[in-house]
Amino acid sequence: MTITAAADGSALGNPGPNGWAWYIDDDNWAAGGSPHGTNNQGELRAVLELLRATAGSDESLLIMCDSKYVIDSITKWMPGWKRRGWRKADGAPVLNRDLMESLDEAMQGRDVKFAWVKGHAGHDLNEAADERANAAAKAYQAKQEPRRGPGFTLGGDASTGSASAQKSQPMWAEASSLLDVFEVPEGSAASAIDLHVTLTPDEHARLRDRAQAQGISLEQALRRLI
């Protein structure tokens, strides 16, 4: 079986508030973004987040993009960039190096193919990803939390729930569940609790996006969730 997905990015102003999204179907998609970024950064991030979300799957992956820059970067140019220490043939540094290095790592050991599709041409998956990426960019423009989607839930056990499905629950639910571990007797004075939380890369990315949208630190964003 091959998982077929579309990945797309959007930027209002380019650079400006930007968004990213990947889409498989209505039960498997995700979106996010940042208050300031480029369209290319959104396109790259969409592919990266798709690779991370499906990392636990044994299925091959077909990613449809309307950005030849993204496809060529990963499938043609990246080996040369790495040999030259992440520099282009003319010696100039590679743009978006942090995303490129993360993509290179996420591609290791994966069976991934890319296909170019023309944007805004009625392709169902591409249109769905584009709509969600653009909505995320508009949310950041309005300083609001974007719709992040259910994440990757394919292959989960309906009786117990897959790890991916569990990770995709709203972050406020994740944070609230942490507090269920602690019981403070009624009427007693509350004391500070030293709490250490381990986040998955997906959870950290969502927390970072939330903090950036609100202009606060990661710690402040987590405290607000709790």
User: What positions carry a catalytic annotation?
Assistant: 8-9, 43, 66, 120, 130
**Strand extents, DSSP E, the chain:** 2-11, 16-25, 28-37, 60-65, 112-116
Which residues, 6+ apart, have CB-to-CB distance to 190 below 8 Å? 184
Determine contact, residues 211/221, Cβ cutoff 8 Å. yes
- Which residues face 87 on adjacent strands? 93
Determine contact, residues 67/45, Cβ cutoff 8 Å. no
Q: What is the DSSP string of 174-202?
A: HHHHHHTT----TTSPP----------HH
Asked if residue 17 has a cis previous peptide bond (ω within 30° of 0), the answer is no
3-state secondary structure of 85: coil
